């Protein structure tokens, strides 16, 4: 049923302001992690409406708003699309699990972070079809692809994930759809000029939200020039880090030191 066509008391509800969020903006930003395990609780349309409202407030080039969102919950096409993407996810993850050596080295130890990640990913793909909501963010192109066109759809995806966090839900951005792009377009009637930009999964987290872990701020921020040390770029006390990512560069040269 279309939200806008509901009548009576429901109509009043739909016209209501957005629900109050449960966390402040900065806290939400720094604790929005990829959530891959969900309870079976359905996500109410009111919550989806708030998340999509937030998503569509994102910026885009010339404010063209080329983003569109296909929301898949429990209709017959949603079920078929979830199956297609789920099968692709299992195929892609099984290849990555092997090529990236998730079961060797520290991955062979049950309690290592690597083994935990592998278990979480396996459960994510094995139970893909049960995920309450899958959203396909799309970009309607009006010209040939450009390097910056993603900036007119991906900020909207992050807004969606942040809004989910604000309302006590969680999600993950994934690229599983790319492996079944043609089949998905065919199933859902996506026009040729439109890029299906990713797959966002959403639901009530089965675990907890926690602080996002990244590399130390000083590794990621330069001042004045490439590699220039920003001595104010310090993580707040208690920040947890991750070593994920490409190998660390040699310590950046201080400005004015070393060869130029």
Ligand X SMILES: Cc1cc2nc3c(=O)[nH]c(=O)nc-3n(C[C@H](O)[C@H](O)[C@H](O)COP(=O)(O)O)c2cc1C
Q: Find the shortest distance in angstroms from Cβ 61 to ligand X.
A: 19
Q: Are 198 and 184 in contact (CB under 8 A)?
A: no
Q: Is 242 exposed, middle or buried (0-12, 13-18, 19+ CB in 10 A)?
A: exposed
Nearest residue (CB) to ligand X, 47 versus 172? 172
Point out which residues bind ligand X (CB under 6 A).
33-34, 36, 124, 172-176, 212
Q: Find the shortest distance in angstroms from Cβ 154 to ligand X.
A: 8
Nearest residue (CB) to ligand X, 14 versus 173? 173
Q: Are 136 and 196 in contact (CB under 8 A)?
A: yes
Nearest residue (CB) to ligand X, 46 versus 83? 83
Q: Residue 137: which of 199, 179, 180, 222 has the closest Cα?
A: 199
Q: Find the shortest distance in angstroms from Cβ 212 to ligand X.
A: 4
Cα separation, 74 vs 129, whole angstroms: 10
Nearest residue (CB) to ligand X, 59 versus 245? 245
Alpha helices, H only, 9-75: 9-14, 25-30, 45-55
Q: Find the shortest distance in angstroms from Cβ 229 to ligand X.
A: 25
């Amino acid at each position: 049923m279309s939200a806008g066509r509901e009548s009576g008391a429901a109509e009043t509800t739909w016209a209501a302001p957005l629900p109050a969020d449960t966390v402040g903006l900065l806290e939400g930003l720094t604790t929005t992690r990829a959530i891959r395990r969900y309870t079976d609780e359905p996500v109410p349309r009111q919550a989806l409406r708030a998340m999509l409202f937030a998503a569509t407030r994102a910026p885009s080039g010339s404010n063209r708003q080329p983003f569109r969102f296909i929301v898949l919950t429990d209709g017959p096409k949603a079920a078929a699309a979830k199956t297609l993407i789920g099968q692709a996810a299992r195929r892609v993850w099984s290849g990555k699990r092997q090529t990236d050596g998730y079961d060797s080295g520290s991955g062979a130890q049950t309690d290592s972070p690597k083994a935990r990640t592998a278990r979480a990913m396996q459960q994510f793909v094995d139970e893909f079809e049960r995920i309450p909501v899958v959203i396909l963010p799309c970009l309607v192109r009006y010209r040939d692809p450009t390097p910056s066109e993603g900036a007119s759809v991906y900020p909207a995806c992050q807004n969606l994930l942040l809004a989910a966090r604000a309302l006590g839900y969680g999600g993950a951005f994934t690229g599983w759809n790319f492996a079944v792009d043609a089949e998905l377009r065919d199933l859902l009637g996506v026009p040729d000029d439109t890029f299906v930009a990713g797959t966002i999964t959403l639901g009530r987290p089965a675990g907890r939200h926690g602080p996002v872990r990244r590399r130390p701020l000083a590794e990621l921020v330069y001042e004045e020039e490439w590699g220039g040390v920003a001595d104010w770029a310090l993580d707040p006390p208690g920040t947890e880090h991750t070593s994920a990512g490409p190998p660390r560069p040699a310590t950046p040269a201080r400005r004015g030191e070393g060869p130029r």
